[in-house]
Amino acid sequence: MEEKYNPEHIELYWQDAWNREKTFAVHENDGLKKYYLLEMFPYPSGRIHMGHVRNYTIGDVMARYLRMTGKNVLHPMGWDAFGMPAENAAISHKTHPKDWVENNIANMKSQLKRLGLSYDWDREVNTSVPSYYRWEQKFFIEMFKKGLAYRATSAVNWCPHCTTVLANEQVIDGKCWRCSSDVVIQEKEQWFLKITAYAEELLKDCDTLTGWPERVITMQKNWIGKSEGCEILFPLDGMDEQLRIFTTRPDTVYGITFMSIAPEHPLIGKMVTAEQRDAVRAFVDRIKKGGTKNREIEIGEKEGVFTGRYAISPFTGGKIPVFVANFVLMEYGTGAIMAVPAHDQRDFEFAKKYGLGIKVVIQPDGESLDPAAMQQAYEGTGRMVNSGEFTGTDSERGKKLVIEKVVREHKGISKINYKLRDWGISRQRYWGAPIPMVYCDTCGIQPVPEDRLPVELPMDVNITGEGESPLARHEKFVHTTCPVCHGSARRETDTMDTFMESSWYFEKYTSPAAKDSPFDQRALAYWMPVDQYIGGIEHAILHLLYARFITKVLRDLGYVQCSEPFLNLLTQGMVIKDGAKMSKSLGNIVDPENIIKQYGADTARLFILFAAPPEKDLEWSDKGVEGARRFLDRLWRLVYKYAGRVQGFSGGALPNEDEASLTIRRLTHKTIKRVTDDIKDRFHFNTCVSALMEMLNSLYEMDEKGVGETGLPAFREALDTVIILLNPFAPHITEQLNRELGNPPLTSAAWPAYNQAFIRNTSATIVVQVNGKLRGQVRVPEDSDERTVFEIASADEKIQSYVSGRPVKRLILVKNKLLNIVVGQ
């Protein structure tokens, strides 16, 4: 054993061994309990960052620990390789996206292996290869045939720089989430997936996700946004048209003082009067810049312009001015709302700004609201006032009565609405999975026959990043034959949103080699659902909601048996430095390769796990990294000092151990309990590492006092224990030290169990009898059970001579006093 710790030499040795022996390859085994552990796969940018290191190290700790507990652990890795980032980077570097992606994958794979991550690389997937996306195209066609995929014209978020459509979730503060360009609204024909058909199930099943953070559940429920209310028709004065509005507060209909419609509302062109036309057009053009991101609309300034038109109240017959307003979304409800300033804060702010009326129609119990004195809207319940036939009615009961009136008088319908909109998946970019549809002038829109899949992305394209997708200019790709009439047809040149690929990759991991079908059904049924999923909170709506949706679709198509893909979810915090998230623009990036080169992969892993609990943000600290390295150096030196001395000792408990030995035993088993509890139940990896640091400090204190020959068995157990407990966190150094102590590889070791008896702080002297006759005494931890006392007593040579070779029929224990061993002849 070398006297000095050399991490690079040790880490490369063990990484090569694991890779060569396929140590972490796994197969279905009905005799073992499965555990599917997964971190969100990365976009192959070319280099890993500290966020990657944290995410994947957290998962690796769990994978290594769970293997030691006897689980059959699936822990795969792959690449989310399609999308605009790769296309834009390829354009910038004057190369092809395929070459860019493949080179980056090779580089990042090498970096991940250098961290010692225990992946089953035989299951690696790349979403940009035809053998992967052919099945995605098949799923799309099956969804089309069931009405779950359709083409429609819609107002979409358009990024002029990326020249593609963005989902609402991809518009951040009115800007493209990728390039930060201003987003505008345009009308385009798009392909949609009917996620709204699963809205109620997606919402209901949120309550089954007991292993998810409450914050994520709340975000998904809010995004789905179920609302129960009614739809009411408001005739437009002087026109043979009506405005449809949806409201969850029918109890406030008598308080309407104006109406608001979305800038994209189809009736704007008809209803705007000549006097207001220029003002409305200018307003609409301005508001359409920046997309329709709900978050921005909720917190931004409320703006609007009068259309010159009035609606007629179906309740009072009064005229109500109609405004175009920036806070009304065409995609939610009907694109038109009734405005009740006294009882809706958004309407209140708008009314105050434009000098519109405020009419109180709900009075809270024990109060009397004065519209002239109100500083904010009252949005609570109470007693209906100024409400015609409903005056004096409790507002909750009034909701039902008003809906009944609306339905009875044919002025509207009772209705449930969802904020969730269908998923627009069309992207006008090259680097994505082609949508497998063709357009025939005779037969209309037709799916590509399944025996002609995949529709492969052509490689011979000229990618400039400007204008339309290069696929639209690729003659050989565009021109095809109709699968029905065999006449001339055109291929769809849009590609799929890359969230399609990430919505089922975890299912493909279960059987990546399957060729004649997307999955091996036995493997899929064995491994799914994912037991633990790990990734960032930023994916709470986008990826996680889409993955849940596609899993339910695949269930209904007969591919999967589960309804939810992820049983448990851990959302790790960010890695920050100098108070901000690491980024190139801020100049606070720490390169993992440099840390590994200077300190070793085990040090990088240990620091990233020790610095903060997984769900909290982690503040980078150079001193913290140095501290983690010092801890590993100290462990190495202690094992180096005792490796020779403890050889020959098993580490098991002996009879009549002195108090020094029992102190070591207690330290060892208390540490086992602390680390086990924190790693198993709480994911508190930082306190696990802290417990091991404390244990090492205590062992050094014992070393300074001197460890005699009688204490070496207990000290051997302590060294074995600290090494095996540390292994999931720092696998290379622990594997090396474990070998130096003459133990079999830790990759096949069992997680240690603590002895409850050693958790207590005192010991007892036990009289040992064999068939009722005194044969000796042993010292054991206080309150030890009969099996523990017997094991310790059996190690005593004198007592063993009376027991050896004879069957033990019964153990009679008087706790802390006597053990009678009844043996046969």
Arithmetic mean of pLDDT, 434-442: 98
Flag the least confident range among 78-92, 399-413, 683-697: 78-92
Measured in whole angstroms, the distance separating CA 113 from the mean position of its chain's CA atoms is: 23
Residue whose structure tokens are 């408001």: 234
Range of lowest pLDDT (500-504, 707-711, 750-754, 808-812): 707-711
For the cut 50, the answer to whether the pLDDT of residue 295 exceeds it is: no
Q: What is d(CA 60, CA 52) in angstroms, rounded to the nearest whole number?
A: 12
- CA separation for the pair 278, 638 (Å, rounded): 83
Predicted local distance difference test score (pLDDT) of residue 796: 87
pTM summary value: 0.86
Short-list 465, 392, 352, 427, CA closest to 170:
427
pLDDT band at 294 (very low <50, low <70, confident <90, very high): very low
- Percent of the chain predicted with pLDDT > 90: 77
Structure tokens of 684? 């508190």
Predicted local confidence at residue 462, as pLDDT: 85
Q: Looking at the predicted structure, is the pLDDT value of residue 278 above 80?
A: yes
C-alpha separations of 789 from 672, 806, 812 in Å: 20, 18, 11
Average pLDDT of the residues of the chain: 93
pLDDT (mean) for 248-259: 97
For residues 717-739, average pLDDT: 97
Rounded CA-CA distance 488/486 in Å is: 7
Q: Which residues contact 455 (CB under 8 A, 6 or more apart)?
A: 137, 434, 436, 448, 491
Q: What does the pLDDT read at residue 296?
A: 47
Q: Say how far apart CA 490 and CA 441 lie, in whole Å.
A: 9
Cα atoms in the Cβ-side hemisphere of radius 13 Å centred on 229: 20
Task: Please name the amino acid found at residue 394.
Answer: D
Alpha-carbon Rg for the chain in angstroms: 34
**pLDDT (0 to 100) of residue 75:** 98
pLDDT grade for 678, boundaries at 50, 70 and 90: very high
Burial status of residue 536 (CB atoms within 10 A of its CB: 0-12, 13-18, 19 or more): middle
- pLDDT on residue 467: 66
What pLDDT is stored for residue 290 in this prediction?
60
Give the mean model confidence (pLDDT) for residues 757-764: 77
- Amino acid 560: pLDDT: 97
Residue 124 has pLDDT above 80, yes or no: yes
pLDDT of residue 199: 97
> Taking residues 59-84, what's their average pLDDT?
97
pLDDT tens-digit readout, 361-391 = 999 998 899 999 999 999 999 999 999 999 9
Contact (CB, 8 A) for 187 and 490: no
Q: Which residue has the tokens 């975890």?
A: 506
- Distance of alpha carbon 417 from alpha carbon 560, whole angstroms: 29
pLDDT of 299 > 60? The answer is no
pLDDT band of 354, cuts 50, 70, 90: very high
pLDDT, tens only, 20-47: 999 999 999 999 999 999 999 999 988 8
| Residue entry with tokens 């109180």 | 360
Residues 759-774, mean pLDDT to the nearest whole number: 86
Per-position DSSP letters for 503-556, written without gaps between them: GTHHHHTT-TT--SSSS-HHHHHHHPSEEEEEEEGGGTTHHHHHHHHHHHHHHH
Mean pLDDT check: name the lowest of 88-92, 159-163, 225-229, 562-566: 159-163
- The mean pLDDT of 397-426, rounded to a whole number, is 95
- State CA 736 to chain mean position distance: 34
Q: Who has greater pLDDT, 97 or 588? A: 97
DSSP 405: H
**Closest alpha carbon to 495 in 518, 519, 461, 450:** 461
**Per-residue pLDDT at 792 exceeds 60:** yes
Q: Using the structure block, give the residue that is written with the tokens 């507002």.
A: 395
